Amino acid sequence: MKPFRVILYYFYAPIEDTETYRDEHHLFCVQHNLLGRIIIAPEGLNGTVSGTPEDCEAYMNYVRSDSRFKDVQFKVEEHDKVAFQKLHVRVKEEIVNSDLGVDPLVRTGKHLEPAEFKQIINDPNVVLVDMRSDYEHELGKFKGAITFDMHNLRELPDHIHEIEHLKDKKIVTYCTGGIKCEKASAYLLEQGFQDVYQLHGGIIRYGLEEGGENFDGKCYVFDNRIAVEVNKVNPTVISRCYICNEPCDRMINCANAECNTHVPVCHQCGEDMEGACSTECKAHPHKRTYDGTGYYVSNSNHYHPLQGLKSQKKNIKKMKLAQRTEPAE
């Protein structure tokens, strides 16, 4: 039993007063020593939070105590330490950037529970489609899955032609925690695909509940762990070190802050290259100090968890003042 937890979740439900809810949310996290990234949008919540088991349990109870989010599903993982250095609770237009113009609350792909997903992934009429970014699926993916050379979900429309010929198949989408698939599967339905499903809870939940069978490599995550093991049944390594090309499932961000590319780099090359992905990046004046992890945090400037709340309120006040002083047309 490890001393800390990392909880991943999302939930689509209308939030009218996002600013007020953001402030309440931020204060609760501060009071319970929680760090992480949380997005609040008119369409719902999306977050990854880390802290002690007790504080994480309190947070889950807090979110579920709101009738809008009583059915939220949390993916809970153990970790040796808190998986973040800071707390960010932000208001955005979407809880996952997509620009796809779809509403999962109106229509989305059919949810497949992990046990159901495990039963059908070897069916020849089933096509698995990875909805994550290129650097994510290069580190790990399900056997036989179709992947796209895209950096974010906004690029999905540029790749639909790659699977147009599969409209008569059962399409099963998947991503890290399930959130991207809510919109990606909805978009596929809009584009004329008829039989569309999604892995409910994503790769992480499948690993936790079903052992991660047939997921090759590791799963990229957006905290200081960078990559986590999923498959406890038939694991394998599919990625190779960016420097020496030897099999490697250890992911880093390039030490050069202006590069910051996400690539697999083995321990030895990481040390030899001081965390850089190339000799040019190693010699770059903006190269950060490599501590062996390949995960970097921006300068804190005497950071305190309440800092984000205060700066957010200050920005809101400035915006309201500007609106009042704008000349009438």
pLDDT at 302: 66
- Segment 141-163 shows an average pLDDT of 97
pLDDT at 304: 72
pLDDT at 149: 97
- Segment 195-207 shows an average pLDDT of 98
- Segment 138-154 shows an average pLDDT of 97
Residue 316 pLDDT level (bands cut at 50, 70, 90): low
Token pair for residue 66?
């709101």
Residue 305 pLDDT level (bands cut at 50, 70, 90): confident
- Segment 40-53 shows an average pLDDT of 97
What gap in Å lies between CA 174 and CA 126, rounded to an integer? 13
- Segment 218-229 shows an average pLDDT of 95
Active site residue 254: no
Which amino acid type is present at position 301? Answer: N
User: What are the helix (H) ranges across the chain?
Assistant: 18-31, 53-64, 114-120, 134-137, 179-190, 202-210, 267-272, 279-282, 307-325
Report the predicted TM-score, pTM, of the whole model to 2 decimal places.
0.89
Cβ atoms 191, 175 nearer than 8 A: no
Choose, from 56, 175, 241, 254, the residue flagged as catalytic: 175
Nearest CA to 174 out of 229, 135, 137 is that of 137
pLDDT at 260: 94
pLDDT at 325: 57
pLDDT at 20 over 80: yes
- Segment 127-145 shows an average pLDDT of 97
Average pLDDT value over all residues in the chain: 93
pLDDT at 306: 76
Token pair for residue 168?
């008569």
First to last CA, the chain: 64
pLDDT at 321: 57
Percent of the chain beyond pLDDT 70? Answer: 91
pLDDT at 329 over 70: no
Residue 328 pLDDT level (bands cut at 50, 70, 90): very low
